[in-house]
């Protein structure tokens, strides 16, 4: 039975892989079916996952087994119920409170986190004396780092028209950004190719047994 299920799983995997690949030609019924099964299956999977891995262990179990120490969980539970009230038109307005709370706390938490890690840490990391290095490569690299950071930041300065002399650092900044995007593009494409190889490996090894 287990062997049959394994074979069935491989055949289904191969069928859906080919159905998704068929989109490379054009939209067709095989792709549509695969897409809709994928969307429906994943929505159902995440619903069950949320209930059994988030709601049950983090809320219901704690409330039912040790209410005295976990009664504060009633607050997020109440906020969750307020969100669900969206389905009742007359009580829809109540869902705005959890949304507002979520947006406000998110902004506040991220402001502090980003300020420390993205702002101060990166400013400090750019404060380097380029001439402290003995190797010319390091000296040039550090100068490029400093120029790139300063011009890159200036590119996003919106309060000044970028014309005349003020356009120069901005243009240098966008060049630095584009070079970094190019490098990032190449790097990510390489990673995607490995995903394709993984799929082809599945088709040729597990399904067709062409590769041993």
Residues 169-208 that bind other proteins (CB under 8 A): 177-178, 180-182, 184-185, 187-188, 192
Residue closer to other proteins by CB (options 102, 208) is: 102
Residue closer to other proteins by CB (options 74, 109) is: 109
Distance of CA 203 to the CA centre of its chain: 28
Residue closer to other proteins by CB (options 15, 23) is: 23
Residues 41-80 that bind other proteins (CB under 8 A): 41-43, 45-47, 50
Q: Given phi > 0 = left and psi -120 to 50 = alpha, else beta, which region is 164?
A: left
Asked if 99 touches other proteins (CB under 8 A), the answer is: yes
Residue closer to other proteins by CB (options 8, 143) is: 143
How many residues touch other proteins under the rule CB under 8 A: the total is 66
CB distance 59 to 77 below 8 Å: yes
Residues 115-174 that bind other proteins (CB under 8 A): 115-116, 119-121, 123-124, 126-132, 146, 149-150, 153-154, 156-162
At residue 109's C-alpha, the angle toward residues 107 and 111, to 5°, is 65
The least distance separating other proteins from the CB of residue 126, rounded to whole angstroms, comes to 5
The footprint of other proteins (CB under 8 A) covers 20, 23, 27, 32, 34-36, 38-43, 45-47, 50, 83, 86, 95-96, 99, 102-103, 106-107, 110-112, 114-116, 119-121, 123-124, 126-132, 146, 149-150, 153-154, 156-162, 177-178, 180-182, 184-185, 187-188, 192
């Amino acid at each position: 039975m287990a062997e049959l299920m394994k074979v069935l799983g491989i055949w289904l995997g191969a069928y859906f892989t080919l159905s998704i690949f068929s989109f490379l030609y054009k939209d067709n019924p095989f792709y549509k079916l695969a897409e809709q099964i994928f969307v429906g299956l994943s929505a159902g999977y995440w619903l069950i996952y949320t209930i059994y891995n988030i709601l049950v262990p983090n809320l219901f179990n704690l409330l039912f087994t040790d209410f005295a120490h976990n009664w504060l969980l009633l607050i997020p539970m109440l906020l969750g119920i307020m969100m669900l009230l969206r389905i009742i038109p007359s009580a829809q307005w109540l869902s705005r409170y959890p949304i507002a709370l979520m947006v406000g706390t998110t902004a506040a938490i991220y402001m502090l986190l980003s300020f420390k890690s993205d702002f101060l840490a990166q400013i400090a990391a750019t404060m380097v004396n380029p001439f402290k290095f003995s190797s010319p490569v390091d000296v040039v690299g550090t100068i490029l780092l400093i120029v790139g950071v300063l011009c890159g930041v200036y590119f996003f300065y919106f309060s000044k028209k970028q014309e005349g002399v003020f356009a120069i650092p901005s243009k240098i900044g966008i060049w630095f950004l584009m070079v970094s995007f190019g490098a990032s593009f190449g790097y990510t494409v390489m990673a995607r190719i490995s995903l394709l190889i993984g799929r082809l490996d599945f088709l040729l090894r597990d399904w067709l047994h062409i590769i041993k």
